Amino acid sequence: MYNHGGDIYRNRVKIDFSANINPFGLPETVRRALSENIEDLSAYPDTECEKLSRAVAEYEGVSADNILCGNGASEIIFNTVRAVMPKRALLIAPTFSEYERALKSVGCEIKYHTLSEENNFNLTERILPELDGTDMIFLCNPNNPVGNMIDEALMDQILRECEKRDIFAVIDECFMDFVPNGYSAKKKTAVIKAFTKTHALAGLRLGYMIGDSKTLEKIDLVSPRWNVNAAAQLAGIAALSDAEYLKKTKKYIEKERIFLTDKLRKLGIKAFDSRTNFILFKTGKEIYAPLLKKGLLVRQCGNFRGLDDSFYRIAVRLHEENTVLLSALKECL
């Protein structure tokens, strides 16, 4: 079973709301860089990703020694687990499923901290006692599939506890760059980010980890060579050169998310508060198949631990596309 959004290959799709990708598509700087340097793709890519690492480091305000690039966030998740080899890990539920897959791949025992729908799936201090007896934790902030953020004071408390107990903490901030006035844990622990969603580079696979150099060296040892292809490196550097693209994206996404959430609620749908470029909602009526017949692909969330098939997730897309979805939903309901 395909466990993620974006399965446009086995469905006839006109508009894909199932994958949380920047609706503006590839930045023009990326299109130009790829077309102008196409001949360079016959050479091996730089195994050190030197130019890309410097560009990412400048963007993040850290040293290039604190950046490790990878073939998408998913590869970095798996390589981190292989480097750490945890015995017992803690995950919240619902959250991104690749943490669980990576941990199970090394035989790690997993303890789950289930978030409450009644509390809008917000993380609370109830998680702190759950840290006992664990040696690794993944936290997604903003959390996929809900879109909510962990309170910054609580995040600091969790990370202090992890440091005291020698628990390896990884914070997935792949959606943080969509959040106006968001915060980062990059100065306190290992953080994963990606170009996949923010710069619409899902097909090229490009992510990175921000962390201390010793940790990154350890993870790099279990990473395959030439794992970041030359096209992805070119695209990443070009994407970061266009600051206006992300600035425009943040402003647009916030406006459209508020619009979509309001309209969903007016349709009688339970829509959960989100801070990023997707919305989780719940409805008692099956809408996946009827919408797909209209060429609209949404993410049914029954395979997220802690959710069932009454939950759906949609990406915030262009206004015209969002209006099409709302009209189709109204017909389905």
CA–CA–CA angle 329, 330, 333 (5° rounding) = 85
**Which token pair is 20?**
């949380």
Angstrom distances, CA of residue 17 to CA of 8, 57, 296, 300: 10, 32, 7, 11
* Global pTM value: 0.96
Angstrom distances, CA of residue 35 to CA of 38, 234, 246, 306, 321: 5, 10, 22, 44, 29
The one-digit pLDDT tens for each residue of the chain (333 residues) are 457 777 777 888 999 999 999 999 999 999 999 999 999 899 999 999 999 999 999 999 999 999 999 999 999 999 999 999 999 999 999 999 999 999 999 999 999 999 999 999 999 999 999 999 999 999 999 999 999 999 999 999 999 999 999 999 999 999 999 999 999 999 999 999 999 999 999 999 999 999 999 999 999 999 999 999 999 999 999 999 999 999 999 999 999 999 999 999 999 999 999 999 999 999 999 999 999 999 999 999 999 999 999 999 999 999 999 999 999 999 998
**In the prediction, which pLDDT does 194 show?**
97
Question: Crossing angle for the helix pair 50-60 and 230-240, nearest 10 degrees?
Answer: 30
142 alpha carbon, distance to own chain's centre: 8
CB 36 within 8 A of CB 328: no
**In the prediction, which pLDDT does 5 show?**
76
CB 146 within 8 A of CB 121: yes
**In the prediction, which pLDDT does 1 show?**
40
CB 94 within 8 A of CB 145: yes
Q: How does DSSP assign 196-211, residue by residue? A: TTTSS-TTT--EEEE-
CB atoms within 10 A of CB 310: 16
Q: Which of 72, 34, 63 is nearest to 198 (CA)?
A: 72
Taken in order of first residue, the domains within the chain and their CATH numbers are: 15-25+244-332 (3.90.1150.10), 28-242 (3.40.640.10)
**In the prediction, which pLDDT does 7 show?**
78
